[in-house]
Structure 1
């Protein structure tokens, strides 16, 4: 007989498993995001999340078999443990990989290539901040690694600005060598610092090339401070939905640091602090990787597709599928078709809610995005296990374990063989 049931212990344990999966997932994102392709990263993220939720739900039912019954606990726990990894880590992980490939795929070629405008401080204070000229070496290094479809412009600034390299596509090695030669032969540091002039010059470069759009990124590096009318300077970039990433040396005073952080925050960019000039190459490389990073299901979507309804739908539907498969995985673990139905529907609803939360609330603020992912992971775990209240489950008739299937198969074969022998004897007689 089917009936609606509620296991508070499973809800609690599922929540604990979801939080553990979230913590491990955040470690994966922070440590491997630049090492692994996005499809593999998302496969690991959701695969291990499903594994931890499955483990904790299985533990909860072993402690108090309220949903699956004491018969399951006595006879089929071993089979459930055997199904744990294939049903969660493998099934959900592979599905997440495929969904990430779908989400990250470029369905149409953008009308313009990606653009980076580098604003490099050459004020007199850089003689102290960067005595070995690491800034321009770092810029040269990142130009070497850029893809051929990239466009780059380089602007130096002190108390005036100079367009060292107008916006140009790095179509082949000869073009890259030309840009690198200009970087390595730049004039030495001198003069003061005028950041607002540099931002205006970058704006003019992009407007002249008709590239003032989300596919363009500005990288501003400075070790000084200047008066900037932020509202006036930032408004064109904000209207174009462009990011400005800022890099500051540790010697920058408090006002300078605050200014660079504000510029990044106003445009959804990231501020990087540099303790030693030797770190600049790694920072510039990281910024370049960010600008070229593929979309993934649990991070903010930036660039030309940031406001895309098409990709918003793919993300939400993808999370719905992942949630549904997580519920199905629990049904396979417990080998109960009634629970499988309940958890699958609940998981799909939970995935839908988590997808809507991710799509509507993710930003470029690290701590806020981390909080949103935590809420999404907790939401998926709790809502899924709550659905046994709405969809009836049964501890009899619904459960046919793998062992019992094997046993039934053997008994059926034996009966058929025995019947055949009796028939053969009658014909012989």
Structure 2
């Protein structure tokens, strides 16, 4: 005999677990996104989320065993706690890593950046902030790292703007060597800072080459401040969905730092703070990696793949699999195949809803945090509500272990026989 049951305590506890997992996930995203590869980042994000949701669901059933029965609490609670980490953090986390590797792969031409334009500050203040010429060494390191299918342009600016290297494809090593030689032999710092003219020059390089589109990225590095009409300067970048990543020296000019942050924020790029010039090489390397693959399962997809139906489908499929595995994890924890069926179906449905929400509502702004919170809440709540729709066997049903042995669980059989004996005694 099967019954439909609903544990409101589990629904509430699952929501709390989802909220805790969301907060921990946001900390992971903010502090580790530049230090870890995307596949590992997503593994940690969803692994710990599953752990908190599973732990709170287990706590709810321990307090009030409405779904799995009092016999489970008396005999199997200890084993359920032992299954918690392997079933949630490990299983869901590993699955999320693999799904992120799939989602992060480039299946389409132009799905990552093909063109990089470097705008490098050569104003007189760079003599103090970069006395050892680390800026151009960092730019040369990026050129060495770039793939042969990519194009690069280098523009220097102070009181005036100079095109040190027009947009060129790095088709072979000789081209790379030519660009590197120009970077290593450039003129020394002098003059003031004209950021707006540099932004215009970068735009013109891409426009002249017919590359004014999503497959291009602009990197702006400066240690100073100049007046910029952001509306005029950035509107062409926004219309072309061009991202500007900015790098600044925060201790030199607070106004300059704020300006660079505004430029990156309004164009969907990222701001990188540099305390010492020696850090520039590492920062430029991060920007290059970011430009080649700028997507993970819980953030807005940018670049040429932003409107890709393929990657939209992969995100929704990935979230569906993660939600289904989260439900299966609960079934393994409770060692109940009927509950596993209910939670897995509910988790898959929740994953579809969460995936659609992420795909349609993320926008690279502060509101993305709210969207991720809603997605985490959806996955936690919808999954636990499905016990009211998918019936489970009365008395907890057959366990996974006993089903694998092809017979009933001895302890549950004893409990059943004991109840039957009482009925006969009566």
Q: Give the TM-score band, short-chain normalised.
A: 0.7 to 0.9
Retained in 2: the 8 A contact 1:113–1:151? Answer: no
- Describe the shift of the 1:158–1:400 C-alpha distance in structure 2 as closer, same or farther (beyond 3 A): closer
Which runs of structure 2 are paired with 1:386-425 in the superposition (5 Å)?
386-396=385-395, 398-400=397-399, 402-403=401-402, 406=405, 408=407
Shift in Å, 1:9: 2.6
CA distance in 2, matches of 1:220, 1:401: 58
Deviations 1:403-422 (A, max 9, x none): 586494899xxxxxxxxxxx
Taking the TM superposition and a 5 Å limit, the aligned residue runs for 1:19-58 are: 19-26=19-26, 28-29=28-29, 33=33, 37-58=37-58
Residue in 1 aligned with 2:125? 125
Q: Quick check: 2:328–2:341 contact (8 Å CA) kept in 1? A: yes
Corresponding position of 2:102: 102
> How far apart, CA to CA, are the structure 2 residues paired with 1:86 and 1:399?
21
Distance in structure 2 (CA, Å) of the matches to 1:281 and 1:151 = 19
Q: Which TM-score applies when normalising by structure 2? A: 0.86
SS in 1 for 2:6: coil
SS in 2 for 1:396: helix
1:382 aligns with 2:381: yes
Question: Aligned with 1:275: secondary structure?
Answer: coil
Report SS of the residue matched to 2:155: strand
Which residue matches 1:197? 197
Aligned length: 410
- For structure 1, the residue ranges without an aligned partner over 5 or more in a row are 412-429
Gaps of 5+ in 2: 411-426
> How much has 1:317 moved relative to structure 2?
2.3
Contact preservation (8 Å) 2:151, 2:170:
yes
For residue 140 of structure 1, give the secondary structure of its aligned residue in structure 2: helix
Is the CA contact 1:38–1:294 (under 8 Å) kept in the aligned structure 2?
no
Indicate whether 1:159 and 2:159 are aligned: yes
Shift of 1:301: 0.9
Residues 168 and 111 of structure 1: CA distance in aligned 2, closer, same or farther (over 3 Å): farther
Consecutive aligned runs of 4 or more in structure 1 exceeding 6 Å deviation: none
Higher deviation after alignment, 369-378 or 161-170: 369-378
Q: In 2, distance between residues paired with 1:216 and 1:69?
A: 59
Once the two structures are overlaid, the 10-residue window that deviates more, 86-95 or 121-130, is: 86-95
Provide the aligned C-alpha RMSD in A: 2.8
> What SS does the corresponding residue of 2:225 show, helix, strand or coil?
coil
In the other structure, the counterpart of 2:4 is 4
CA contact (8 A) 2:104 2:293 kept: no
Structure 1 residues 405 and 73, CA gap change in structure 2 (3 angstroms): farther
CA 1:289/1:251 → structure 2, altered by over 3 Å: closer, same or farther?
same
SS of residue matched to 2:217: strand
Q: Closer, same or farther in 2 for the Cα pair 1:404/1:102, shift >3 Å? A: closer
- Cα offset, 1:368, TM superposition: 4.2
- Could you tell me whether the CA contact under 8 Å between 1:250 and 1:276 is conserved in 2? no
Shift, 1:36, TM fit:
5.2
- Cα distance in 2 between the residues matched to 1:291 and 1:112: 7
1:279 corresponds in structure 2 to: 279
TM-score, scaled relative to structure 1:
0.85
How much does 1:370 deviate?
A: 4.0
CA contact (8 A) 2:112 2:291 kept: no
Report the alpha carbon displacement of residue 79 of structure 1 after superposing the two structures with TM.
4.4
8 Å CA contact retained: 1:194, 1:226:
yes
Matched, 1:224 2:208: no
Deviation at 1:206, TM superposition (A): 0.7
